[in-house]
A and B are shown apart, each in its own frame.
Chain A
Amino acid sequence: MNSSDRPFSTRLVLEAGRADRQYWQDLWRYRELLLILAWRDVSVRYRQTVVGIVWAFIRPFLTMVVFTVVFGHIAKIATGTTVPYAIVVIGGLLPWTLFSSVLGEASTSVIANANLINKVYFPRLIVPLATVLVVVIDFAVSLSILAALMIWYGVVPGWQILLLPLFVLLALLVSLGPAIWAAAIVVKYRDFRFVIPFVLQFGLYVSPVGFPSSVVPERWRLLYNLNPMVGIIDGFRWCIVGGDSPIYLPGFILSLAVAAFFLWWGVRTFRRIERSFADVI
């Protein structure tokens, strides 16, 4: 074999409790596997469905319709802006769906790939990371709802729309921490398989999806931003409608700090439990 294909490090020591110094290096070396696993999940996801990838569009669309009808027309929630309510909702729903799909899919990813975990070595982080790529593709499709609504209501985005990709990345970062944590913890305590869907359902109403976060009283606002999705959703809306939905900066920074903490904690927990994956899965 051509050893220059994959320049694997030649010396390795396996010992109990030894933190693997090559882990992050290995993660990079196994990037091809990451892509292949993501590709597998994408190509299997909509096989033998009639409408295929359109499902990625239907689910957020219907949720948006329900929110618009129930909260916008029946409950008549005041948004405090001139922006159509449907756009306010979709601006919150898209990042929320991204978050909840990443967390939902990643949390069961390790047990779903138990056969791989038991039979081959690779940095286990690849498994939840691959599901993130799959979710991103769905997300890209669902962005078309946003585009369609903006055309329908004649909303012209400002320069802020150019920052949208940045907020997509931030949304991923926010999701990644809890997702990685959940992926590891579910291996040990299958209870969390039942807890996570519930938390996500709850989170949909706690996060400012159906309303702008400006409706939260000023003195509670910083506290509210402990939910890291608050900062991200605010940022999303700001990108779409600009000054009509300003970002609350201290809260945004707090959201990012909370997200960074979750990411650190998630990776740390994952790395610790990961060593015994093959023994308990």
Chain B
Amino acid sequence: MTDTVIRAEGLGKRFIIGHKVERDGLLREAMTTGARSLFRRGAEFLKGRASNTPGETEEFWALRDLNFEIRRGELVSIIGHNGAGKSTLLKVLSRITEPTRGRVEINGRVNSLLEVGTGFHPELTGRENIFLNGAILGMSRAEMRRRFDEIVAFSGVGKFIDTPVKRYSVGMYVRLAFAVAAHLEAEILVVDEVLSVGDAEFQSRCINRMSEVAGSGRTVLFVSHNFAAVTALTRRSIVLEGGVLTFDGPVDAGLAHYTASLGKPERIRHWGRGKDATLISAKLVDADGAATENFTPGTPLRLKVVVETTGMPGMSLVAILRDHHNLPVGLYSSASFSNIPLPTTAGRYECLLSLDPLYLAAGEYNIDLQTTSTAIVVDHRVDGAVQFFVNACNPGSVGYDFRQDQGAGHLALRLSAPLHFESLSTEEAPSLHSDRRLG
């Protein structure tokens, strides 16, 4: 069958972004703007209506005029930068949020997987959480019972199945969560970036499992930054940029289109918000504090990051350095590496993150920034927040350019002591030594 299962026509989604006070949804602002305004707002919220007056809010179109069709059994990846509208699109398709313009027609049952372990409760045991999570994802109890043993086996949690998950290690927790998700079956499966959790071995098992699902004639929509997974799982790509569909076609061409768009100098993006700590802006700066796109190997890597926090204690600022294949090169975490969490007084802060000199190979790099509350709970995440280039890398000033695309890694390794070759030839060695001593 090749009938259409999803048809989007002129699909648009607008968010109203209020200024800080409105976002809090508190009366404080209303009180300061006078009694009349307070009464007006009072009357409005009794009616449950929004009370935003013009000038206090701004509009933001996360999706603009999308038109596409997806046929039964198609495997489609949606790619784009952070803030390009991928997740919003998935949320619209899975009925979590309503479109502002246009329409979507869906034929079939959509099950969405926007996060692993949705609704997991720390006090409940692994067994209980499997049933809870399954029900939340839309599986029936009969279905769950049938698949229960399979899920437990897949998770590898084994004898801890009757232990409350709050006693699990992070790894076990994620495995269990993914095991349930991996057994979710639907006519139309919508999957957000969920393969980025777990270790490499577990990830590859997940990808295998996903391709089994995909191979059985189901329609799959898949968002990921993981190029390997995108290529392995999907045949067609939809590329979003700033909420606009810029490419729709075979997956290889889609990835090429996406990679090309990375190099565009002006990326107007919306970074969204975190719950407790929001990244506002970030740039690479030189020694004088001026913004730059170029990094000179062997100098400190300086990032100026503006972050807004609600004052939640224990929040960490995390930076992940990535190469031009989007593979991770290195990690910095303020709480874990330096024991410096974000300030606990609410407000907006600027900080200069000055990292030890690195001899990075020439090429393009991206830095993902995140704020995290614990080791795995990411509060706000901006992939590719900072992009920079290393024009040349000649660590010994010898005139040799070490490049990323040589496939020999990203770091020029440096000596900690002068290199000295000592001969180990058995016959001549003693005399050489003695000669030198004499000399």
Contacts and interface: CB of A to CB of B under 8 A. Distances in A.
Interface in B2-29: 15, 24-27
Contact of A120 (B48, B118, B124): B118
Contacts of B50: 188
A40 B105 contact: no
B100 A16 contact: yes
Contacts of B91: 278
Contact of A5 (B24, B27, B107, B142): B142
Given A16-B99, A119-B115, A188-B25, A11 B121 contact: no
Interface residues of A, number: 46
B51 to A, nearest CB: 9
A14 B103 contact: yes
A218 interface: no
A276 B142 CA distance: 32
B106 interface: yes
Nearest to A44: B123
A11 B188 CA distance: 12
Contacts of B45: 185, 188-189
Contact of A116 (B24, B112, B119): B119
Contact of A13 (B103, B132, B141, B142): B103
B36 to A, nearest CB: 18
Interface size class of B (residues with CB under 8 A): 35 or more
Nearest to B27: A191
Contact of A36 (B15, B131, B186): B131
A121 B94 contact: yes
A275 interface: yes
Given A14-B106, A116-B119, A191 B25 contact: yes
A10 B107 contact: yes
Interface of B: 15, 24-27, 45, 47-48, 50, 91-110, 112, 114-115, 118-119, 121, 123-124, 128, 131-132, 135-138, 140-143, 185-187
Interface of A: 1-3, 5-6, 8, 10-18, 32-33, 36, 40, 43-44, 47-48, 113, 115-122, 184-185, 188-191, 269, 272-273, 275-276, 278-280
11 contacts: A1-B185, A15-B102, A15-B104, A119-B114, A119-B118, A120-B114, A122-B138, A188-B48, A269-B47, A278-B91, A279-B97
Given A10-B109, A33-B135, 8 more contacts: A1-B143, A2-B143, A12-B105, A13-B104, A14-B99, A120-B137, A121-B112, A191-B25
